[in-house]
């Protein structure tokens, strides 16, 4: 059984597998024992020109700001642990020329902080709206920016990883090939000289994924979004889809490992870690976002009153045990149904 760290602060809420905190990530992250975290998966506020309501730094100060967190992450990771960082691109101020801030980060993290870049991933979001408006929509001199860089950093050259946990579905052609290799595939040498041979027709239960992750970010009717609408509060404006942390959690960790998100927002990472039976910790500075993120762990049948109660309890500083709360609500509904009968 893995030892789960105990932090000095009380969590905003807890579940069977995790704890969500409202506070400063630098402080809370420092409380973890060294060599204790298997994966830090996060998406910090980007260094955009236009200020966002969830807070973001200017481009010239961004790398220095993010490095303060990365230095602590490096010490807290297990020797085979990973740090996955999702970053969006940006333009230079007033001109259609790209900022290099997100490319300078891996150079700085590896050359100066001691990380290794295990692999670079690119998250293509086909549902992303055209932006930036000035160069794409108005002047029509640039294509829309729909790819984020996702850097997979590690503490050592050989981090824990198993690509067989994230195999993708075979294409229709590959399925036909596997059914009858002789009919659909004649092994020949490639122009490069590689001889693929008949072994290419072996069924491995899926194809090895590429480092281009095509994941739409269009979720609109899940319990989190529905809950926010039900009680009339704003949802977090920069959520990432569950499939993104799911890929890296399955790829880089084992059940009962420790997963941490230091800029958790609506806590998609914690939600996926809960499903995958990983111990998780999430941290965010804004109590409104932390309180609303609890909706992800409630039952879909929760009423607006129940959602509002959980939200208000967390905002007031109460530490809510979500598992216990759901059991109480279930008993209450059963009693109410008995009275109605």
User: Which residues are part of the catalytic machinery?
Assistant: 43-44, 86
Rounded CA separation 340/338 (Å): 5
* 109-112: long-range pairs with CB below 8 Å, 24+: 109/67, 109/70, 109/151, 109/153, 110/153, 112/67
Asked whether 116 and 93 are in contact (CB, 8 A), the reply is no
Asked whether 151 and 116 are in contact (CB, 8 A), the reply is no
Pairing mode, strands 13-14 and 147-154: unpaired
Taking the CA atoms of residue 160, residue 164, residue 165 and residue 169 in that order, the dihedral angle to the nearest 10 degrees is: 150
Residue 259 φ then ψ, to 5°: -120, 135
**DSSP structural state of residue 133:** I
């Amino acid at each position: 059984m893995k030892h789960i760290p105990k932090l000095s602060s009380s969590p905003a809420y807890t579940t069977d597998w995790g704890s969500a905190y409202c506070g400063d990530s630098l402080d809370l992250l420092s409380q973890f024992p060294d060599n204790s975290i298997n994966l830090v998966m996060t998406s910090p506020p980007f260094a955009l020109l236009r200020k966002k309501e969830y807070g973001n730094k200017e481009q010239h100060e961004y790398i220095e700001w993010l490095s303060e967190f990365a230095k602590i992450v490096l010490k807290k990771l297990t020797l085979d642990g990973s740090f996955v960082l999702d970053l969006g691109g940006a333009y230079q101020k007033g001109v259609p020329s790209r900022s290099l801030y997100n490319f300078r980060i891996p150079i700085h993290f590896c050359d100066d902080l001691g990380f290794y870049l295990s692999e670079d991933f690119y998250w293509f979001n086909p549902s992303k709206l055209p932006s930036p408006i000035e160069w794409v929509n108005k002047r029509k001199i640039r294509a829309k920016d729909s790819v984020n860089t996702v850097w997979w950093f590690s503490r050592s050259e050989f981090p824990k990883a198993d690509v067989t946990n994230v195999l993708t579905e075979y294409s229709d052609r590959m399925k036909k090939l596997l059914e009858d290799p002789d009919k659909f595939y004649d092994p020949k040498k490639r122009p490069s000289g590689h001889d693929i041979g008949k072994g290419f027709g072996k069924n491995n239960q899926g194809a090895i994924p590429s480092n281009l992750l095509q994941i739409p970010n269009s979720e609109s009717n899940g319990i989190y979004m529905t809950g926010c609408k039900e009680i009339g509060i704003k949802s977090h404006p920069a959520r990432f889809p569950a499939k993104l942390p799911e890929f890296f959690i399955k790829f880089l960790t084992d059940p009962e490992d420790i997963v941490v998100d230091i800029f958790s927002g609506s806590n998609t990472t914690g939600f996926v870690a809960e499903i995958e039976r990983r111990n998780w910790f999430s941290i965010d500075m804004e109590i409104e976002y932390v309180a609303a993120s609890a909706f992800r762990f409630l039952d879909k049948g929760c009423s607006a009153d129940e959602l509002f109660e959980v939200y208000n309890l967390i905002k007031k500083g109460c530490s809510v045990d979500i598992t216990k709360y759901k059991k109480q609500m279930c008993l209450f509904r059963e009693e109410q149904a008995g009275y109605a009968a």
